[in-house]
Amino acid sequence: MAADAYSLLNKAIEAYKSENYEMAIVYLDDAIVQDPDIPEVYFWRGKVATKDLNDEVVETAVAEFTQAINLRPNYWEAYFERGKVHLYFNRLEEAEKDFKKVRELSPEFKEACSYLAQIEIQKGNDDKALEYLNCITEGGDYKYYYNLGKILLNAKNYQSAIENFTKALEENKYLVDAYYLRSKAYEALEKYKEAIEDLKSAAILMPEEKKFFTDMANVLFKKAAKKAEEGDIRRSADLFVEGLKINYNLKIDPKYEKILEEAAVDAMEKGEYQQAVTYLEFAERVIENQYESITDYEEYYKKIQNVQSLMKQAVKGLPWKERIKKKLNDIYAK
C-alpha cells in the first residue's frame, strides 16, 4: 500500500511541475487513501493550494503544511511554505516563527533570511532587516543590492526597491532578474514607460522567456487604460494595439472595449482610413478573445455586427488598390 502511495505522490509531483494542479490533487487524494501518514503528501497538497487564485483555498494550505509538520516535526520545508502563506495574509508573527524555525532546522538554507528581513522592514526595523540580509550575502556587491531590492519590493517599498535594483545593475548589467523585478516596482508606481524599458532589456538578454513579453503587453494595457481615463482615446487605442501585437490573446477590460471603435471613428473623421481599419481589425479580435465570457450569443453577434459595419465605412475610404488588398487578406484569413 505504501509503495502505491509513493508512486501516486511521484505522479502528483510531476503533475505539479507541469502546472497540472487539478491532476496533482487527484493523485494526492488517492495517495491519502492508500496511506494517510505520509508527510510529503500533505506538503504537496499545501503547495497545490497555494497556486489557487481563491484566497480561501490558499488558506487551506496552512492546515496541510501543519499536518505534514505533525507527521514530521523537523520538516523545515513545510515550515518555510507555511511561513510564506502566513506572510501572504500579513500574519507577521506566525510567519516569523515559521521562518525562524527554518533557520533552526536548516541553517544552510538562506532564503528564510530574505523573508525575515522583509518582515522586519514591514515592522519598521531596518537595521534588523539588514542583519538578516547580511546572512544571505555580504554587503556592498551586486547580490547584496539585488536581494535588498527583492525584500523592499515584497514589502511594497517600491522606490527604495528601484534604487537597489539600479545599484545592482550598475555593477552587473547582465542581471536579468533585476531588470524584471525593477519593472514590477516601476509598474506599481505607474511608471509604465520605465517598466516597459526594463522588460525590453530583460527580453534582449533572455528572448526565450515568454513572461517578459506577456508582462510587457500587460503594462501596455495598463498604460492604455490610464490614457483612456485621461480622455486620450487615440493614444489609448494605439497602446492597446501595441499590446495585442505582443500578445494577441489578451483580454481588454469590458469598460474599455469601445476604445478601439471610438478611435476608428475619430480616424475616419480625420480621413485616416487605413488607421481606422487597423483599429477595427483589433477591435474584432478583442471581441473574439472575450467570446468565452459572453453567455449571450446575441450580445456577441451584435458587437461583431457593429464592428463590421464600421469596417465597411473605413474600407470605402481606402484607395482602390488598398481595398482590393484588404479583400484578399480577408479571404486568405478565413
Give the model confidence (pLDDT) of 54-108 as tens digits.
999 999 999 999 999 999 999 999 999 999 999 999 999 999 999 999 999 999 8
Q: What angle do CA 140, 146, 17 make, to 5 degrees?
A: 145
In this structure, what is the dihedral angle of CA atoms 3, 7, 12, 18, given to the nearest 10 degrees? Answer: 160
Query: Residue 1: is its pLDDT beyond 60?
Result: no
Which letter does DSSP use for residue 72 in this model?
A: -
254-274 tens-digit pLDDT: 788 889 999 999 999 999 989
Show the cell assigned to 284: 474584432
Phi, psi of 82 (to 5 degrees): -65, -40
CA distances from 57 to 29, 46, 214, 322 (A): 16, 10, 26, 54
The answer to whether 254 touches 290, Cβ cutoff 8 Å, is yes
The answer to whether 284 touches 304, Cβ cutoff 8 Å, is yes
CA distances from 326 to 266, 287, 312, 315, 318 (A): 20, 20, 11, 8, 9
Show the cell assigned to 11: 505522479
User: Which residue type is seen at 227?
Assistant: K
Query: Residue 232: is its pLDDT beyond 90?
Result: yes
The whole-angstrom separation of Cα 77 and Cα 269 is 63
SS3 state at 251: coil
Which letter does DSSP use for residue 141 in this model?
A: S
Summarize the confidence of residues 111-140 as an average pLDDT.
Answer: 80
Query: Residue 234: is its pLDDT beyond 90?
Result: yes
SS3 state at 124: coil
Q: In this predicted model, which residue has the larger pLDDT, 246 or 252? A: 246
- Residue 247's pLDDT is what? 83
Q: What is the pTM of this model?
A: 0.59
H/E segment holding residue 49? helix 39-49
- Residue 283's pLDDT is what? 87
Query: Residue 331: is its pLDDT beyond 60?
Result: no
- Residue 324's pLDDT is what? 65
**Across all residues in the chain, what is the average pLDDT?**
88
Show the cell assigned to 3: 509503495
In this structure, what is the dihedral angle of CA atoms 200, 204, 205, 207, given to the nearest 10 degrees? Answer: 100
The whole-angstrom separation of Cα 150 and Cα 118 is 9
- Residue 74's pLDDT is what? 97
- Residue 327's pLDDT is what? 63
283-322 tens-digit pLDDT: 888 888 776 655 667 778 888 888 889 888 888 888 877 7
**Lowest mean pLDDT across 48-52, 98-102, 139-143, 232-236:** 139-143
Give the total residue count for the chain: 334
Summarize the confidence of residues 170-179 as an average pLDDT.
Answer: 95
The answer to whether 276 touches 317, Cβ cutoff 8 Å, is yes
SS3 state at 220: helix
Q: Which residues contact 16 (CB under 8 A, 6 or more apart)?
A: 24, 44, 47, 48
The whole-angstrom separation of Cα 286 and Cα 188 is 25
H/E segment holding residue 87? helix 76-88
